[in-house]
Structure 1
């Protein structure tokens, strides 16, 4: 019988929840418009007045190296179970022999779906936002959130872009340490005119190395719907 995991609860505060985690976030939509997202869930084209916030968003201007791969992936044939996004933007196909659904709020209050591996210590949440934010910006926000909550900037293991089920996906893999334990966060980032999605998995580094293929099988179950 599998023991009750402590990693999800230990790292609950590190995972990025809603995009408005800061007082305001300057972002660029898929259509090229600059917008500002605020911590009350609203956004605007013009920056509102905030005192003492200058320079807070400088991390969004930091360059990152994204490797573009010619590879194209599809959902594994073993992923026969399905959950569908409430806004009809995407669905997740998964193998119920390998993964079980868990109440999303047990892992992250902002999650729409949540999973845990049945035979290893790996967890996953899917967080979607109605605001379209570029994939690279989503990655930078996630990294900054981890840095603020752990006191150290997470190391980027890999940052690649490729197609999954005919959609451009940014995969960001980051290593972060907390209380002497090294964790790996393996995430798919996606955005279109209907909103932004983060499909995040995490585990200890040792577990990630042994289960990377299984983790990728879950992440490759991300399918965008409603696109002709």
Structure 2
């Protein structure tokens, strides 16, 4: 199977410091940083890695998320708010259809990820994603993983911290499976600024939606925020 974890690629692109790994007296692997500090390679509680909780709340997209970016691969899309998020032309992976940058002083990056690959369940997808992250990161800690409902879709939500070369980043994402593949809406920021931007990030994630795929070869770029959407009665 092709590697489907774009998160590891993101981590590799921000490598700027050096480090080494070692073992504690009881055999636990640690990463040693140049400034003399260290962390366990994996600080996740064993139970959090084995279990996935369920959130019964019915999440919906923000009322301000009025612009729809449609996938070209799957019948999926992302509603977002153009004044808050700018579509970036950068191509970081064949699995990233769209990359977004938040209009804020903090560095917050978002992605719409799709891949036509058959994954049996959301739990299988979670295990594949986390395996890829742990393989490529120097330090990893899973904070949350749960099943939920967003805009009528049954999704998997995961949130974790990953470190490479001394840099800590925090990630969160909503993932959805259909018969053709999977779709993920993911965002990340430096770990120390994630919490204060949590509302903005989760509003972005909750834009994941079912939508007819875009059959065009070129995507029309918006020049201004679209008019408010009318609700169907």
> Which residue of the partner structure matches residue 130 of structure 2?
143
Distance 1:109 1:170, change over 3 A: same
Mapped contact 1:104–1:125 kept (Cα < 8 A): no
What CA distance in whole angstroms lies between the structure 2 residues aligned with 1:63 and 1:187? 16
Distance 1:224 1:181, change over 3 A: same
> Which residue of the partner structure matches residue 5 of structure 2?
none
Task: Spell out structure 1 runs of 4+ moving beyond 6 A.
Answer: none
Q: How many residues are treated as equivalent by the alignment? A: 170
Question: Structure 1-normalised TM-score?
Answer: 0.68
Post-superposition Cα deviations, 1:117-155, rounded to whole Å, max 9, x if no partner, equal 111211012221122312222222221112221244x21
What CA distance in whole angstroms lies between the structure 2 residues aligned with 1:225 and 1:10? 27
Unaligned runs of 5+ in 1: 1-7, 15-61
> Which residue of the partner structure matches residue 192 of structure 1?
178
Mapped contact 1:13–1:149 kept (Cα < 8 A): no
Unaligned runs of 5+ in 2: 1-7, 15-47, 213-233
Mapped contact 2:114–2:183 kept (Cα < 8 A): yes
What CA distance in whole angstroms lies between the structure 2 residues aligned with 1:225 and 1:192? 12
Map residues 4-83 of structure 1 onto 2, 5 A cutoff: 11-12=11-12, 64-83=50-69
Name the SS for the 1:112 alignment partner.
strand
| Deviation of 1:187 (Å) | 1.1
| Deviation of 1:110 (Å) | 2.6
> Which residue of the partner structure matches residue 209 of structure 1?
195
Name the SS for the 1:185 alignment partner.
strand
Question: Structure 2-normalised TM-score?
Answer: 0.67
